Structure 1
Amino acid sequence: MLWALKSVVIDRMSIARVAAALAASWHTVNDAVLTAGRQLLIEDPTRFDGVKVIGVDEHCWRHTGKGSHYVTVVIDLTPVRAGIGPARLLDMVPGRSKAVFKTWLDAQTQGFREGIEVVAMDGFSGFKTATSEELPEAVAVMDPFHVVALAGDALDQARQRVQRETTGHRGRSGDPLYGARRTLRTGADLLTDPQDRKLTAVFAADEHVEVEASWRIYQKIVAAYRCPSKPMGKQILTEVIHSLRRGIPVKLVELKKLGRTLNRRAADILAYFDRPGTSNGPTEAVECRCRHSTAYADVWIMPTFSGCPW
C-alpha cells in the first residue's frame, strides 16, 4: 500500500502503471492509495501541531465539468522557514473565496489559530480579509513573485497600448516594441550588451517614453527583491510605492492602477523584508505535484482531503 502511494505521489506514476506493476485492478490500487492517504494525512492527529507559518493559494483542479473548478490550497511553510524540511500540504478545500478560507480557519482549533504567526499569500484580497478576521495576530506577507508579476503585467500592458497607439495595430515581427517584449522583462543586471543596445534604441523614440517609465518602475521592484540587504531592499520598494501614490501622468494608466494595488497592500508587501524566506514558492511547488495527481492519478488527493465525489 505504501509503495503504491509513494509511486503515485513521489515517483509520479499513474494508477494504471502501478496497477500493472502489481498485477492488480485499477480500482483495487486506487482504493489502496486513498486508504493510505487518509491514514497518513487526514487521520494523523499531529499534522497540525507546531504550524506557525502557512501559505494559501488557489489551484485550478480541473478545466471541464460542472461545479467549482478551483480549490484553495493550504500549505505548512514552517519547516521551510526553519530550514528543517520541505513544505507540507495541510488541506485542499473546494472553491476559492474569502468565505472558503475563512470557513477553513474557523474549523481549526483555537490553539492552531493562535499559533499562526505568518500567512503567505498572493494578491487576492479575499485571503487577506479572511486572515485579518480569523488570525488578527498573524502577519500577512504578499509573495514577491506576485508583486513582480503585477509590475510585469503593467509593463506589458503599457507596451501593448503604446504599440497600438503608435502603429495602429498589435505587435508584429519587425516592430521595435514587439521585438523587445522579452528583453523588457529581463532584469537590468542580467542584460547582455546586444539586449542593452536594443532597449537603448527603443527608448530613444519619444513615443516610447511611457514604456520606459513603466520599465524603470518594474526594474526598481525587481532590484528591491534582489538586493542583498533586506533593509535596503525594503527602503527601495517603499520609495517605489510612495512614488506611485500621486503625481502619475494621466496617460500612464497602467502605473496608476499598479500604484493603487501596491499602496493598498503596502504593509503586506513590505512585511516580506522583515521575514525573509517567507514565500509562496513552496506552495506553488506543492500545487505542481497536485497538477500531476490531476493528470495521472485520477484525482486521488482531492477525495482524500475534502470528500469530493470527483
Structure 2
Amino acid sequence: MSFRRVVWVGHFVCPLQSWLNQRDHSFRDRIEVVSMDGFAGYASAAEAAVPKATRVMDPFHVVRLASDKVTKCRQRLQIETTGRRGRRGDPLYKNRKTLLTRDSLLTDGQNARLDDLWAFDEDYQPLYQAYLVYQRVIDAYEMKNRRQAKKAMSHLIDQLRVMKGKAHKEIAQLGRSLHKRRRDVLPFFDRGVSNGPVEAINGRLEHLRGIALGFKSLNHYILRCLIHSGGLTNKINAL
C-alpha cells in the first residue's frame, strides 16, 4: 500500500468512519493494523469499517492513562487531607512531577523525597498504590521479551479489574478502562506498532495551529500543513 498524507475535517467517529467507508473494499482489505490513541470512537470506527484489522492502542496513551490516574489520586488526597488545592510547600504538590517520573530515572534526592512522602501520612497509601501501578505499566512496555511483557500486562489488567473501594477508586477506574480496551492494548506486544510517527507530525501541526491567525480555507490549511511538516520538498518562491 502506498503512503498518503491525509488531512480530514473532523475529530470524532463519524468523519473517520465516513472516510473509511468512502474507500473501496480492496483498500480496506489491505489494512492490517490500525494504531490509535485512547479515544473510543476510533476503535468503534475501525471495528465497523475494517473489522478484520488488528486494533492497537499506542503505548504512550496507555501510560498517559495510568499517569492521569496518579495525578487525580494526588489531587483528591490533597483536598481530603488539607481541604484546599496544593501549594508550594505541600508534600503532595511538591512531588507532583517526581510521581510521574520513571523510577529508574529518579535521582537519590528524588527517591529520598518520595520515601519521606510515603512516610508523611498513612492517608497517602492509595497514592502509593497508584504510583506502583503506573510504574508496572511502564515496566511492561520496557520488557525485552514481548511474550512475557504481554503476560505481565494481562495479569495487571486482571488485578486492577477487581479493585474496589473509595480509597482506590482511581486504580479501579484504570482497571475498568484497560479491561474495556484489552483487545486494543495487548496486541501491541504481538505487532509492535506505534502511533509515534503520526504523533510527531501532529505535534508540528499543533504548533502550526498555535502560531496561525486562523484558516478559512481547508485547502490553505492542508498546504500550510504540508509545508510546515516538510511535505513539499521543492522550493516555493511564491510563499
TM-score range, shorter chain: 0.7 to 0.9
2:146 to 220, 230, 248: 230
Would you say 1:245 and 2:161 are equivalent positions?
yes
Would you say 1:219 and 2:135 are equivalent positions?
yes
1:290 is aligned to 205
2:102 to 169, 176, 187: 187
**For the residues of structure 2 that align with 1:116 and 1:160, how far apart are their CA atoms?**
42
Unaligned runs of 5+ in 2: 224-239
Count of residues in Structure 1 that have an aligned counterpart in Structure 2? 221
2:28 maps to a residue whose letter is R
Larger Rg computed on CA atoms: 1
Cα RMSD for the two superposed structures: 2.1
Kept after mapping to 1: 8 A contact 2:17/2:49:
yes
**For the residues of structure 2 that align with 1:96 and 1:137, how far apart are their CA atoms?**
23
Kept after mapping to 1: 8 A contact 2:140/2:149:
yes
2:88 maps to a residue whose letter is S
Kept after mapping to 2: 8 A contact 1:293/1:300:
no
2:48 is aligned to 133
**For the residues of structure 2 that align with 1:190 and 1:289, how far apart are their CA atoms?**
27
3-state SS in 2 of match to 1:120: strand
Q: Which structure ranks higher in relative contact order (CA pairs < 8 Å, sequence separation ≥ 6)?
A: 1
**For the residues of structure 2 that align with 1:122 and 1:162, how far apart are their CA atoms?**
29
Kept after mapping to 1: 8 A contact 2:21/2:49:
yes
Displacement after TM superposition at 1:286 (Å): 1.4
TM-score in terms of structure 2 length: 0.86
2:61 is aligned to 146
**For the residues of structure 2 that align with 1:302 and 1:135, how far apart are their CA atoms?**
27
**For the residues of structure 1 that align with 2:19 and 2:80, how far apart are their CA atoms?**
47
Residues 68-107 of structure 1 aligned to structure 2 (within 5 Å):
89=5, 91-107=6-22
3-state SS in 2 of match to 1:244: helix
1:201 is aligned to 116
Bigger fraction of residues in strand: 1
**For the residues of structure 2 that align with 1:300 and 1:144, how far apart are their CA atoms?**
35
TM-score in terms of structure 1 length: 0.67
> Cα 1:296–1:97, aligned 2, differ >3 Å: closer, same or farther?
closer
